[in-house]
Structure 1
Amino acid sequence: MSKKLRRICSSLLIAVALLVIFTPRPVAAAATHAFKAANGTVQVPDHPKRVVAGLYLGQVMALNVHVVGSTQLELANPFLNQSKVKKITDVGTPMSAEAVLKLKPDLIITSNDSDTKKMEKIAPTVEIPYQKTQQFTASMNYFAKLLKRPKQAQAFKQSFRAATKKQVNRLKAAKINRNSSFGVYEMQSSKLYAYGSGFSRGAQAMLALGFKLSKPLQKVDSGAGFKEISVESLPKYQADYMFVTSSSAKGHQDPALVAMQKNPIWKSLTAVKNKHVIELPFNKMYYYDPFATRAQLKLVTDALLKANQ
């Protein structure tokens, strides 16, 4: 082979090598896993980077997943990291397709069929009914599976156990009987409701501390989870400790709640006589996500200690 031919072959080899090195490679599609949701089996990104989560903002944030959009009520959650919340866009209630589209999400988490139908056109959408996420441990496990975050879920559960132990020790030191029963009640637009353990209001925190729902409320818990009751029926639904909130007060005394407290039937309740009725602020007891439930451990313990002074 002549020198000229060798030079040509060498040049061609170099050109081919450079072409291989600098030719853009196709970007691999993001890895996904199949997740069975209320709206069917959805291919969910293994590591979502831009999540829109309405009702489940706290659950997603507890697993250190980046959220770009949520709804106003969830963004008002006082127990979330406020510096992170400030960077999250309010996408409206119900969710606005236009607002969500601008955020370019790679995963959307909804809680109702109406939002789901709009969101499925934008990105992979997982619909999770409220009933799926009502209990702390089950909820952590569920979202850990959805978001591929088992280690983060385990870390949060560990912090929850540590927080629980700290408050239990305070209750023991004060000699408060954790075999006592409790109930949670709420005044909504002049209607009184009794709750089971799945609608927050401090119920999950009380269970974690070792208290038990009163037997009548255990029946409510195993049924719909809540029940409208009358003041006249309160003796049937009473408990050793009665936690009361009002969603109607908006920072002021709820007239319906004040009227109930003046009723002779209310005054006849054992918890009232023992000063074991505990009123707690709605805006702090409404939320039931992992951050809220963990914080409520101290809130209810503080209230129990005060009631037993």
Structure 2
Amino acid sequence: MSKKFQRFCGGLLAAFALLVIFLPRPVAAADTHAFKAANGTIQVPNHPKRVVAGLYLGQVMALKVNVVGSTKLEMANPYLDQAKLKQMTDVGTPMNAEAVLKLKPDLIITSNESDTKKMEKIAPTVEIPYQKTQQFTASMNYFSKLLNQPKQAKAFTKSFNTAAKKQVKRLEAAKISRKSSFGVYEMQSSKLYAYGSGFSRGAQAMLALGFKLSKPLQKVDSGAGFKEISVESLPKYQAHYMFVTTSSTKGQKDPALVAMKKNPIWQSLAAVKANRVIELPFNKMYYYDPFATRAQLKIVTDALIKANK
């Protein structure tokens, strides 16, 4: 190769290098997106790989996002993938900062200000108040935006709607009117509570099937969402179908629940007389995530059909 040709090639390379330097460089795609949460606008990873999710474990798993840590209570959810749960770490309630730090999360989801203040020092943290995402559709839309998973949300919603339609057909075949009202009630530490539609206990499933809360309970729903009531006031809060749970480990043998059933006021209720009181196990009705609500569609349908035989 001649020296003249070498100088020519060298000049071309130098010119090309200058051209590359001054040409506008392509802008790399952003790897985060802004999400408005209770604790402000947070820059959330577009594709989080290691999520710590306290109260919202089921919501995150429904969108097939990897969770590395949650709480003992949420990990006891019978409707979640048990194999995946075994791979997770209990981060405590309240969340333990040291335990979370060891998991090296790229996103943390909390439900209260106390946890949020500790977690914000570790990784991007999104605070979601409990009553923010209680109904299935709203929940799926919300978490889809948070986790950037519209396809997974659409797929799960499709499976949920298919499950709901199947149970509606069963109700129609059994000639059970979905115009009937319902209510959910729970005995907790000898205190009786009436609930609105946002505290699980099967309420979300009943709404998805087309039933409505009784009018008095609609007022509870639009207020705090739950209310402690007395047995004496039950006639005011009764419904056509009454779903009852107890948080006691003694289940349906809970002394407070047994005593209530013996009370003349309880026995005078229309639902009691017509065998429309439906007692359900607390551990199956407590959760309200997408997996739980989808499973509860069949549970409440089975119970309604049994009550109407």
Q: Tell whether the structures are fold-level matches, with TM greater than 0.5.
A: yes
Residues 48-197 of structure 1 mapped to structure 2, 5 A cutoff: 48-197=48-197
| Aligned-partner SS, 1:227 | strand
| Aligned-partner SS, 1:249 | coil
Residues 258-277 of structure 1 mapped to structure 2, 5 A cutoff: 258-277=258-277
Say if 2:188 and 2:246, in contact at 8 Å, map to a contact too: yes
Structure 2 unpaired stretches of 5+: 14-27
Q: Deviations over 1:44-103 (max 9, x none)?
A: 000000000000000000001000000000000000011111111111111111111111
Give the deviation of 1:279 after TM superposition.
0.4
| Aligned-partner SS, 1:198 | coil
Give the deviation of 1:143 after TM superposition.
0.4
Matches of 1:54 and 1:222, distance apart in 2: 26
Matches of 2:47 and 2:269, distance apart in 1: 53
Matches of 2:247 and 2:169, distance apart in 1: 32
Give the deviation of 1:249 after TM superposition.
3.3
Pair 1:235 & 2:197 matched: no
Q: Deviations over 1:241-291 (max 9, x none)?
A: 000000123446110000000000000000000001000000110100000
Please give the root-mean-square deviation of Cα atoms over the aligned residues, in Å: 1.9
Residues 20-59 of structure 1 mapped to structure 2, 5 A cutoff: 31-59=31-59
Structure 1 unpaired stretches of 5+: 14-27
Matches of 2:2 and 2:256, distance apart in 1: 104
Equivalence for 1:205: 205
Give the deviation of 1:2 after TM superposition.
6.0
Identical columns (%): 84
* Corresponding letter in the other structure for 2:235: P
What is the aligned length?
A: 293
Matches of 1:208 and 1:50, distance apart in 2: 32
Give the deviation of 1:133 after TM superposition.
1.0
Say if 2:33 and 2:46, in contact at 8 Å, map to a contact too: yes
| Aligned-partner SS, 1:134 | coil
Matches of 1:232 and 1:251, distance apart in 2: 23
Q: Give 4+ residue runs of structure 1 displaced > 2 Å after superposition.
A: 249-252
Equivalence for 1:24: none
Matches of 1:252 and 1:234, distance apart in 2: 19
Deviates more, 1:246-255 or 1:78-87: 246-255
Residue 251 to residue 232, structure 1, CA distance change in 2 (3 Å): closer
Q: Deviations over 1:5-37 (max 9, x none)?
A: 96xx99xx9xxxxxxxxxxxxxx8970011111
Matches of 1:29 and 1:302, distance apart in 2: 50
Say if 2:246 and 2:252, in contact at 8 Å, map to a contact too: no
- In the superposition, the TM-score normalised over structure 1's length comes to 0.91
Pair 1:292 & 2:292 matched: yes
Q: Deviations over 1:160-182 (max 9, x none)?
A: 11000000111111111211111
| Aligned-partner SS, 1:109 | strand
Say if 1:205 and 1:296, in contact at 8 Å, map to a contact too: yes
| Aligned-partner SS, 2:139 | helix
Equivalence for 2:214: 214
Matches of 2:30 and 2:118, distance apart in 1: 23
Matches of 2:63 and 2:257, distance apart in 1: 38
* Corresponding letter in the other structure for 2:46: D
Equivalence for 2:21: none
Pair 1:283 & 2:293 matched: no
Matches of 2:252 and 2:219, distance apart in 1: 32
Matches of 1:167 and 1:88, distance apart in 2: 33
Matches of 2:252 and 2:185, distance apart in 1: 18
